[in-house]
Structure 1
C-alpha cells in the first residue's frame, strides 16, 4: 500500500544478502560466515541508529556549543509546555525528582547532596475518575504503558542526567535554570536548588494555585479496591462493561455514596506563603512574576508580601490573577480583605506589562509603579476598588509608549474628561455597561488605533455602535475606518447599526468573529453579502477567524467573496465547529491557508449558552 511506512528490517536484510553475495564473488575463498560478518560490519559502520564503538562524537563539540544546544532544547521544551499547559505544568517544582547520574557513581555523598537534581515534571493529576476496575480494559502493550507512566523530565534536567560531562555543562549554564513554575505539590529543597542554579540571573516566576487534585493524591501504587455498585452503575451509564458484585455487606448507614469528594488545591495557602517567603529574598532578580489563584484570601497574602518587598529593579512583567467567583461588582467582597497595597514600595523602573485581574492596588500611591507601561490589563474589579479617572489618566499619561489597554468589567467610576492616548495600537473592551462604554469612548482620542476587541453582552449597544461609526469632532474619519483588525465576541445591536459598522471598515485586513449568537452571526452574513452595483463590505479583508458556524457556511462566504474579487486568503475555524471533509478539501483548494484553532474559554461559554437555548426551544 502506498501509505505504508518503509520496512527497514527487510531493506537491511536485502542489503546484507546483496553485499554478502558480492563479497563471495570477489573473494572465492571466503566462507559464507566470514562474508556475512564482513558485510554486517560494512552496513553497521555508518548506521546512525547504532552507537559508535570508539567514543562519542558529540563529546568532541566545544562545551560552549553544547551549552547553546541545551538552551535551544530548553526553549523548545517550554514552547511545548505552553501549548499543552492544560495537561502539563512544565518545569514545576514539586515532589518527584531524582539524582541518578549515569557515569558518575564515584561522587561522594556530600557532592551528591549538593548536586541533587530537581525532577521538574508535573505529577499525575489524580482526579475523581472511576477506579480502574470500572473502566474498559486497556489492550496496549506493557512497554507502552511503562512509557506513558514514565516521568516527563524538563529538558535541562534530562541532559544533566546523561553523563558527568553533560551534567557539568548543564549545571554550569545558569541560564537554563531561570524559569520557575510552581504548579503542583511543593518541595522546598528542590525549589531552593533550582534558585541556586540560577546564580543571580533574572528570574521568570510562575505560581499557579488553581490546579487541584483528588483526596488520594498521596496514595502509593497499591491494589485498587473493586468499584462500588453505584460506581459500576455509573460506568454502565457511560457505556463501559460491568460485572455487578453483590457480596458487599453494606447497610443503609454505611452504603457507598455517589457524592464525589471535593478536589483540593495542589498548592494550599500555607504552601503559597512558603513559596512567597522563599522567593522574596530574590526580588532583585525577578524579571517576570505571574501568580494565579482561585481565592482572594491567597492573593491577599501575596499582596502583603509584595508590599514589604524593596524595589524590583529588573521586573518587566507583573501578572496577578484572582479567579474568585462573585456576582457582586458594586462593592468588593470579602470586605475585610479590601485593603489596597503598594507593591515594591512603588519602585520597578523596568516594568512595562501589567495585568491585574480581580486584584486592586492603592491606585494613587501606585503611580510611581505604573509608569512607562506598554501593556495594561484591568479586569473584574468591583466599582468601589476601581481607579479614579484621574489615576487612570495619570497612568496612561506616564506611559507614552503604551500599545495595549484592556478593560474587562473594570475601568473608572468617576466623570471623564477628554484625553488622548497617541501611542495606543490595541484596545480591548469586555463586559462593560453601555453607560460606561459610551462616555469612555467619547472622552478618549486614539489617533493610531489599529486593533479593537469587543465582547459586550446583555444590553443593546446600538447607541454605542453608532458612536464608534461617527467621526470625532474635528475629524473626517471614524475610529472604525482606521482599524486593520476587529475582534467581535459580543456586540448586540440593531441590523442597521451592524451595517453601519461594516460600512466603516474600509481598511480592515483581519476579522475575528464568534458568530454563535444571532447578533454576531449578522456580521458574518454581511461579510458574504454581494449586491450588484454596491461595494463589498471590508474590501481589504484577507484573514477570517471564525467560531460558531459550520464548514458549509464558511465555504459559502469564501466563494461569495472570491466571486466579488475580494477574496479571503487565510481562514481559521474553531475545532468545535463541524466541517465536512468535502468542505475542508474545497477550502484548502480555494484559500492559501486553512487552520483549526482551539476556542478560548469565553468563546466556548457563548457557544455552550447558545446550545442550551436551542435545546430549550426544542423541548
Structure 2
C-alpha cells in the first residue's frame, strides 16, 4: 500500500516513467532525419526502425500511461476547494494527448482511436466548449471526468468566460452522455447560474457510472435581501436520486433535501463546506448520513456540520450520557476548518473514530484550549489504565471506543490554531507516532515553534515502563516528535528555523540515524529578504558529528515549496480564473472517421 505520508504516486508510475522516456525517444525519432531500413545479422530479414514500426497496441499503451502520469485526481477526488482564490491546476494529461496526436499521421490515427486519452473534459472558457464536443466524440463510450467552472455576472467577460448561456450550452452537450459520467464537478457563483444547474440536474435522470460528485455554489451577497432570496428556495432532487456507484461527495455551499436523498450513504469521502446555519442538516439528519456510511475513510468539514441546538426539540443534540454516538471505525482522515471551539468539541465528541491517522486543523482566531483539552483527554483514555470490557464486564465496545487516538496520528496539518502554550506542548508530546507535520506558524501564536525542538522528560512513564536506554534511577528523556520524518513549515524566519534544527539535533539520542526532510516556504522572488533562509535553502543543514557516536555527518534534507498567500475574507470565496491549454487547432477539428487505419 502506498504511504499517505508522502505525496501519492500513481500505481503505474514506473510504467509511466518508462513510457515518458520512450515517448521522448520516439518524438526525437519523429522529428529527426528519416532513417533507412537497416539490415540485421538475420538472413533475409529487413527490420524497419522508424517511427511507424511500433505496433499499434504498444503505442496506445505508451499514450495511456503517459497521459495518466500527472493525474489531477492523485491527491484527492475533488478538484474544487472552498478557498479564496483557488483555481484547479491545468490538466497535463490533456496536453499530452494533444501533443501525441500532432506528431505524425500514424500517431494521430492511434491517438484518436484510443478513447481513454479524451475522457478529461474541463470547460473554463467559451473556447473550451468546442473542444468538449470533440472530446465527447473521441471518448465514445469511455467513462469521462467533467469540470465546469462558471463565473458571476460581475466577473463575466462575454466571449471568454462562462455564464448562464454558456452553461446551458454545455449541459445540452454533455447530458446525452450522462450514463458515462465518472466524475462531475460544477462551480456556479450566482443565482442565475444556480437556476440553470437546478433545472438540468433535476431533470437529467440517473448517472449510473458516477463515482465522484462535487457541486460548488458560493457568492458575495450584496445585501441581506439577496441572501434571503437565494436561501429561501428549497433544494431540489438531483439525478433522480439514482447514483448507485457514488463514493465521493463534496457539497460546497450547496444543500440537498437531507432526509430525502438516498445516495447520501455508503460514501468513502464526504466534504461539507460553506453552509449557513439555515441550510445545514439537523443533528438527526447528520447522524443518519454518517451512520449510513460505516466504511467512510475521509471526512472534511469547512464551516459546516449539523445545525446548532437552540432549545428546539427538532434541533436537539445528544447529551453526554446518550449512546451509542456515531461510529466510523474505518475513518482515517479528518479535516476541520473554521468551526467554533464549543461547537467543535461537541461535534467531534460524539464521533468514535479510533482509526484516524491523518488530521488537518485550520481554525479561527479564537482560544481552542478546550478543544486541545478534549484531544488530550481522548489520548489519556487510550492508556494502559483505561477500562476495558475485560476488566469491567458491563462495558460494551461503544463505551471504550475512543473518539480519537492521538497516539496513532501519523500526519498532522495545523494551518491555524490558538491555545495555551502548555497545552500546545502537551499536544505535541501526545503524538509519539507522528511522521509528517505541516504547520503554518503565521497563524499560530508567536514563539510556539520552539516546542518542536524540546526534549521530553517522562519520569512517571519511566517508572511504569522500563526504558532500556535510561538508568532506572534517572528520568527517561527523548526528543518531542521522535519519529518525525517530514516537517513542512511556513511563517518562520531563517533564524527561527535554524534554532529548531539545532535544538532537535542537540536532543537527538546518540546513534540515532533517522533523517528528516524539511519543506520550507520560499521562492526565488523572495531571495535577499532573509539571508539566513536563503543560505539554508542553498546549502541545507548539516548536523555536526556528536561526541561518542560513530559515522559521518548527517544531513537534514531541506527542500522548498511555494503556495499563494491565504487571505482572510469574511465576504466570501471567489475563484480566480486561469487559462488552460489552447483550443483545438484546425487539424484537431478534422472528422475522426476520415483517418483510415493501417
What is the TM-score with the length of structure 1 in the denominator?
0.66
Quick one: distance in 1 between partners of 2:283 and 2:88? Answer: 41
Task: Return the structure number with greater helix share.
Answer: 1
Q: CA deviation at 1:325?
A: 3.0
Contact 2:34-2:50 at 8 Å conserved across structures: no
1:316 aligned residue: 211
1:479 aligned residue: 405
Q: CA deviation at 1:452?
A: 1.4
Among 108, 131, 142, which residue is 1:201 paired with?
142
Quick one: distance in 2 between partners of 1:551 and 1:377? Answer: 36
2:563 aligned residue: 599
The answer as to 2:35 corresponding to 1:52 is yes
Q: After the TM superposition, which of the residue ranges 472-481 and 509-518 deviates more from structure 2? A: 472-481
Q: CA deviation at 1:463?
A: 1.3
Among 481, 486, 496, which residue is 1:553 paired with?
496
Q: CA deviation at 1:512?
A: 0.8
SS at match of 2:377: coil
Deviations 1:166-191 (A, max 9, x none): 22222211111111110111465543
**Closer/same/farther in 2, CA of residues 329 and 392 from structure 1, 3 Å limit:** farther
1:446 aligned residue: 353
- Within a 5 Å distance, the mapping from 1:498-517 to structure 2 comes to 498-517=424-443
Among 466, 491, 511, which residue is 2:373 paired with?
466
Contact 1:562-1:568 at 8 Å conserved across structures: no
Aligned Cα RMSD in Å?
Answer: 3.6
Q: After the TM superposition, which of the residue ranges 414-423 and 182-191 deviates more from structure 2? A: 182-191
The answer as to 2:169 corresponding to 1:274 is yes
SS at match of 2:198: helix
1:351 aligned residue: 246
1:393 aligned residue: 287
Q: CA deviation at 1:297?
A: 3.4
- Within a 5 Å distance, the mapping from 1:517-532 to structure 2 comes to 517-519=443-445, 521-530=446-455
Contact 1:299-1:322 at 8 Å conserved across structures: yes
Contact 2:218-2:252 at 8 Å conserved across structures: yes
The answer as to 2:362 corresponding to 1:421 is no
1:570 aligned residue: 517
SS at match of 2:518: strand
SS at match of 1:308: coil
Q: CA deviation at 1:323?
A: 3.6
Quick one: distance in 1 between partners of 2:88 and 2:331? Answer: 36
Quick one: distance in 2 between partners of 1:189 and 1:198? Answer: 14
Deviations 1:30-71 (A, max 9, x none): xxxxxxxxxxxxxxxx99953325687110111111112222
Contact 1:307-1:343 at 8 Å conserved across structures: yes
Deviations 1:217-239 (A, max 9, x none): 87xxxxxxxxxxxxxxxxxxxxx
SS at match of 1:402: coil
The answer as to 2:14 corresponding to 1:67 is no
Q: CA deviation at 1:485?
A: 1.4
2:337 aligned residue: 430
The answer as to 2:274 corresponding to 1:380 is yes
SS at match of 1:460: coil
**Closer/same/farther in 2, CA of residues 328 and 438 from structure 1, 3 Å limit:** farther
Contact 1:434-1:464 at 8 Å conserved across structures: yes
**Closer/same/farther in 2, CA of residues 557 and 472 from structure 1, 3 Å limit:** closer
Q: CA deviation at 1:328?
A: 9.4
Q: CA deviation at 1:483?
A: 1.4
**Closer/same/farther in 2, CA of residues 547 and 472 from structure 1, 3 Å limit:** closer
- Within a 5 Å distance, the mapping from 1:244-259 to structure 2 comes to none
**Closer/same/farther in 2, CA of residues 358 and 365 from structure 1, 3 Å limit:** same
Quick one: distance in 2 between partners of 1:382 and 1:216? Answer: 30
2:591 aligned residue: none
Structure 2 unaligned runs (5+)? 1-28, 38-47, 80-85, 308-314, 319-324, 387-403, 458-474, 543-553, 570-598
Q: CA deviation at 1:509?
A: 1.5
- Within a 5 Å distance, the mapping from 1:325-344 to structure 2 comes to 325=220, 333-335=228-230, 338-344=233-239
1:304 aligned residue: 199
Quick one: distance in 1 between partners of 2:89 and 2:294? Answer: 38
The answer as to 2:533 corresponding to 1:580 is yes
**Closer/same/farther in 2, CA of residues 434 and 167 from structure 1, 3 Å limit:** same
Contact 2:253-2:273 at 8 Å conserved across structures: yes
Q: CA deviation at 1:572?
A: 0.8
Quick one: distance in 2 between partners of 1:215 and 1:451? Answer: 39
**Closer/same/farther in 2, CA of residues 77 and 447 from structure 1, 3 Å limit:** closer
Quick one: distance in 2 between partners of 1:365 and 1:214? Answer: 35
Contact 1:74-1:155 at 8 Å conserved across structures: yes
Larger Rg: 1
Deviations 1:116-149 (A, max 9, x none): xxxx8xxxxxxxxxxxxxxxxxxxxxxxxxxxxx
Structure 1 unaligned runs (5+)? 1-45, 93-119, 121-153, 219-264, 607-619
Q: CA deviation at 1:75?
A: 2.9
Q: CA deviation at 1:283?
A: 1.1
Quick one: distance in 2 between partners of 1:47 and 1:192? Answer: 29
**Closer/same/farther in 2, CA of residues 525 and 304 from structure 1, 3 Å limit:** farther
Contact 1:469-1:479 at 8 Å conserved across structures: no
Quick one: distance in 1 between partners of 2:249 and 2:73? Answer: 25
Deviations 1:434-483 (A, max 9, x none): 22111112211111111111111132111121111113896537632331
Q: CA deviation at 1:407?
A: 0.7
1:493 aligned residue: 419
Q: CA deviation at 1:408?
A: 0.8
**Closer/same/farther in 2, CA of residues 303 and 600 from structure 1, 3 Å limit:** farther
**Closer/same/farther in 2, CA of residues 331 and 588 from structure 1, 3 Å limit:** farther
1:34 aligned residue: none
Higher relative contact order (CA 8 A, sep 6+): 2
**Closer/same/farther in 2, CA of residues 194 and 375 from structure 1, 3 Å limit:** same
SS at match of 1:471: helix
SS at match of 1:469: helix
